Chains A and B, each alone.
Chain A
Amino acid sequence: MKYEATIGLETHVMQKTASKMFCACKYEYGAAPNTHVCPVCLGYPGALPVMNEKAIELCCKAGILLDCEINPYSKWDRKNYFYPDMAKNYQITQADEPLCIGGHLEVEVEGTLKTFTLERIHQEENAAKNTHVAGASLVDYNRAGTALMEIVSNPCMHSAADALAYLAALKQIMEYGGISDCNPEKGQIRSDVNVSIRPVGQKELGSKVEIKNMNSFAFIQEAIEYEINRQTALLESGGTVVQETRGFDANRGETFSQRTKENAHDYRYFPEPDLMPVKISKEQVEVWRSELPELPAQRRERYVKMLGLSEYDAGVLTAEKATSDWFEQAMQHTKNAKAVSNFVMGEMMRLLSEQELTISESKVTPEKLSEIIALIDAKIISTGAGKQVFEIVFNEGGKPKQIIEEKGMAQVSDDSALDGWADDAIAAHPKPVEEYKAGNTASINFLMGQVMKASRGKANPGAVMKMLKQKLDGC
Chain B
Amino acid sequence: MADLHKLTIAELSEKLAAGECSSVDIINDVLASIDATDDKVGAYLTIDRNSALEQAKAADEARASGSNAPLLGIPVAIKDLLNVKGQPCTCSSKILEGYIAPYDATVITRLRAAGAVLLGRVNMDEFAMGSSTENAALGKTANPWNTDHVPGGSSGGSAACVAADEAIASLGSDTGGSIRQPAAFCGCVGVKPSYGRVSRFGLTAFASSLDQIGPLTKTVKDSAILLEVLCGDDQLDSSSIEMEVPRFGKHLTNDTSLAGMKLGLPQEYFVEGMDPEVEKVVRDAVEHCKSLGAEIIDVSLPHSKYAIAAYYIIATAEASANLARFDGIRYGLRIDGKDPLELYEKTRSAGFGSEVKRRIILGTYVLSSGYYDAYYKRAQKVRTLIRNDFTEAFGQCDAILAPVTPTPAYKLGEKTDDPLKMYLDDILTTPANLAGNCALSLPCGFSSDHLPIGLQIIGDSFAEETILKVGHAYEQTTEWHKRKPVL
Q: In chain A, what residue has the closest Cβ to B323?
A: A89
Q: In chain A, what residue has the closest Cβ to B364?
A: A268
For residue A235, CB closer than 8 A to chain B, the reply is no
Q: In chain B, what residue has the closest Cβ to A90?
A: B321
Residue contact A139 to B329, C-beta cutoff 8 Å: yes
A-chain residues with CB within 8 Å of residue B326 when the two chains form the complex: 45
Given contacts A270-B317, A276-B238, contact A43 B367 (CB under 8 A): no
Residue contact A274 to B330, C-beta cutoff 8 Å: no
Q: In chain B, what residue has the closest Cβ to A76?
A: B238
A and B contact pairs by CB, cutoff 8 A, 14 listed: A44-B101, A45-B89, A45-B205, A45-B325, A46-B83, A46-B201, A47-B201, A80-B320, A82-B341, A82-B344, A87-B330, A88-B321, A266-B368, A273-B207
Interchain CA distance A137-B339 in the complex, whole Å? 9
Q: In chain B, what residue has the closest Cβ to A78?
A: B321
A-chain residues with CB within 8 Å of residue B320 when the two chains form the complex: 80, 268
Q: In chain B, what residue has the closest Cβ to A45?
A: B204
For residue B269, CB closer than 8 A to chain A, the reply is no
For residue B302, CB closer than 8 A to chain A, the reply is no
Given contacts A48-B238, A275-B238, A276-B238, contact A270 B372 (CB under 8 A): yes
A-chain residues with CB within 8 Å of residue B60 when the two chains form the complex: none
For residue B376, CB closer than 8 A to chain A, the reply is yes
For residue A184, CB closer than 8 A to chain B, the reply is no
Q: In chain A, what residue has the closest Cβ to B202?
A: A46
What is the interface of chain A, defined by CB distance below 8 A to chain B? 39, 42-51, 78, 80, 82-84, 87-90, 137, 139, 266, 268-270, 273-276
User: How many residues of B are counted as interface, with CB atoms below 8 angstroms from the partner's CB atoms?
Assistant: 45
| Contact code string B404-421 (vs A, CB < 8 Å = 1, else 0) | 000000000000000000
Interchain CA distance A145-B270 in the complex, whole Å? 48
B-chain residues with CB within 8 Å of residue A273 when the two chains form the complex: 207-209, 239, 318
Residue contact A80 to B202, C-beta cutoff 8 Å: no
**Contact among A43, A49, A268, A269 for B330, CB-based, below 8 A:** A43
**Contact among A50, A89, A270 for B238, CB-based, below 8 A:** A50
Interchain CA distance A86-B201 in the complex, whole Å? 20
B-chain residues with CB within 8 Å of residue A276 when the two chains form the complex: 238-239
Interchain CA distance A222-B89 in the complex, whole Å? 52
**Contact among A46, A51, A80, A87 for B205, CB-based, below 8 A:** A46
For residue B102, CB closer than 8 A to chain A, the reply is yes
Residue contact B329 to A51, C-beta cutoff 8 Å: no
Interchain CA distance A43-B324 in the complex, whole Å? 10
Given contacts A48-B236, A49-B238, contact A270 B321 (CB under 8 A): yes
Q: In chain A, what residue has the closest Cβ to B99?
A: A45
**Contact among A90, A270, A274 for B324, CB-based, below 8 A:** A90
Residue contact B327 to A46, C-beta cutoff 8 Å: no
**Contact among A43, A47, A50, A270 for B235, CB-based, below 8 A:** A50
Q: In chain A, what residue has the closest Cβ to B127?
A: A45
A-chain residues with CB within 8 Å of residue B203 when the two chains form the complex: 46
Given contacts A45-B99, A46-B83, A266-B368, contact A80 B341 (CB under 8 A): no
B-chain residues with CB within 8 Å of residue A48 when the two chains form the complex: 200-201, 236-238
For residue B91, CB closer than 8 A to chain A, the reply is yes
**Contact among B91, B236, B327, B340 for A45, CB-based, below 8 A:** B91
A-chain residues with CB within 8 Å of residue B330 when the two chains form the complex: 42-44, 87
Secondary structure at the B interface, as helix, strand, loop or mixed, is: loop
A-chain residues with CB within 8 Å of residue B237 when the two chains form the complex: 48, 50
Residue contact B364 to A46, C-beta cutoff 8 Å: no
A-chain residues with CB within 8 Å of residue B200 when the two chains form the complex: 46, 48
A-chain residues with CB within 8 Å of residue B89 when the two chains form the complex: 45-46
**Contact among B105, B238, B317 for A46, CB-based, below 8 A:** B105
Q: In chain B, what residue has the closest Cβ to A141?
A: B330
**Contact among B83, B238, B324 for A88, CB-based, below 8 A:** B324
Given contacts A45-B91, A274-B208, contact A89 B236 (CB under 8 A): no
Q: Looking at A42, A270, A275, which has the most chain B CB atoms within 10 Å of its CB?
A: A270
For residue B96, CB closer than 8 A to chain A, the reply is yes
> How near does chain B come to A236, taking the closest CB pair, in angstroms?
35
For residue B82, CB closer than 8 A to chain A, the reply is yes
A-chain residues with CB within 8 Å of residue B235 when the two chains form the complex: 50
Residue contact A80 to B367, C-beta cutoff 8 Å: yes
> How near does chain B come to A46, taking the closest CB pair, in angstroms?
4
Residue contact A268 to B367, C-beta cutoff 8 Å: yes
Interchain CA distance A46-B206 in the complex, whole Å? 10
Given contacts A84-B340, A270-B376, A273-B239, contact A44 B331 (CB under 8 A): yes
Which residues 275-325 in B have Cβ within 8 Å of A in the complex? 317-318, 320-321, 324-325
Known: A46-B200, A46-B201. 4 other contacts (CB 8 A): A45-B204, A50-B238, A84-B340, A87-B330
Interchain CA distance A87-B326 in the complex, whole Å? 9
Residue contact A270 to B202, C-beta cutoff 8 Å: no
Residue contact B83 to A45, C-beta cutoff 8 Å: yes
Given contacts A45-B99, A78-B321, A84-B329, contact A51 B238 (CB under 8 A): yes
> How near does chain A come to B163, taking the closest CB pair, in angstroms?
27
A-chain residues with CB within 8 Å of residue B329 when the two chains form the complex: 84, 87, 139
Given contacts A48-B200, A49-B238, contact A43 B325 (CB under 8 A): yes
Interchain CA distance A89-B325 in the complex, whole Å? 6
Q: In chain B, what residue has the closest Cβ to A79?
A: B321
Interchain CA distance A49-B236 in the complex, whole Å? 7
Interchain CA distance A90-B204 in the complex, whole Å? 16
A-chain residues with CB within 8 Å of residue B207 when the two chains form the complex: 273
Interchain CA distance A83-B320 in the complex, whole Å? 15
Q: In chain A, what residue has the closest Cβ to B105?
A: A46
| Contact code string B120-137 (vs A, CB < 8 Å = 1, else 0) | 000000000000000000
6 closest cross-chain pairs (CB), A and B: A89-B324, A273-B208, A268-B367, A273-B209, A45-B204, A43-B325
Interchain CA distance A137-B205 in the complex, whole Å? 28
Interchain CA distance A269-B368 in the complex, whole Å? 9
A-chain residues with CB within 8 Å of residue B202 when the two chains form the complex: 46-47
> How near does chain B come to A74, taking the closest CB pair, in angstroms?
15
